[in-house]
Amino acid sequence: MKRYVNKAGEVNYRAIQHEPQQLDDLLYDIAAYDTKAPASQADLYSFYLNAYNVLVIGQIVENYPSASVQHMPGFFDKKLMLVAGEKMTLDQLEHNKLRKLYDDPRLHFVLVCGTSSCPRLSREAYTGRDLFVQLNAQTQRVLQDPTFVQVDAVAKTVKLPEIFKWYEAEFGGSGKTGLAYINQFRADKSVPASFSTDYYAYDWRLNDQKSK
């Protein structure tokens, strides 16, 4: 991640494609990981988080160059990949191995599906030992990012990414409750509850360093 992801969370897919060995090694490790070996829940949680982000990169590199994951048929729901000895799609990994088990809204700021509207991809791997500190830090970074949570103090409005509409129940409901969730991670930059709330359109272009 430190080598191929910049501080803006953009990925150098072209460079990975030309030098695939590290990616290939990670994909092998993900496929061969033994979930039956002694491991804490935090270890398993971090494994599946890392696996998702690496598998997304792997699938994009496999189809590169392309402008969007939408141009890759079955990217989320058809393409089967090997994860700890099980064949699954990205959707199955997200919903069955993460959301269903951990019920943690912070997942939405950690999982990065390779698009410009996704949260910025972290440049570090998640580890069981530091996981909950990392989850909080990543969520705070994302929810204080002015491109992700777009606050207009003059117009007294805030525009949120559509994930707050798609998964509104996970953030405590809809509308103002999404804003209440965000403010937990914005410290002295909290958005006034009186601001009107809207959603901006999802940008499906790749989070690609070369497309900027």
pLDDT tens by residue, 22-50: 999 999 999 999 988 888 999 999 999 99
- Provide the b/e sequence for 169-193 (b: ≥16 CB within 10 Å): ebbeeeeeebbebbbebeeeeebee
Give the model's pLDDT for residue 38. Answer: 85
pTM: 0.95
Q: Treating both helix axes as pointing N-terminal to C-terminal, what angle do 131-143 and 41-63 enclose, rounded to 10 degrees? A: 50
Contact 114, 60 (CB under 8 A): yes
Contact 134, 125 (CB under 8 A): no
Averaged confidence pLDDT in the chain: 94
The mean pLDDT value for 168-197 works out to: 85
pLDDT bracket for residue 176 (50, 70, 90)? low
Contact 52, 93 (CB under 8 A): yes
pLDDT digits (tens, 9 = 90+) for 95-117: 999 999 898 999 999 999 999 99
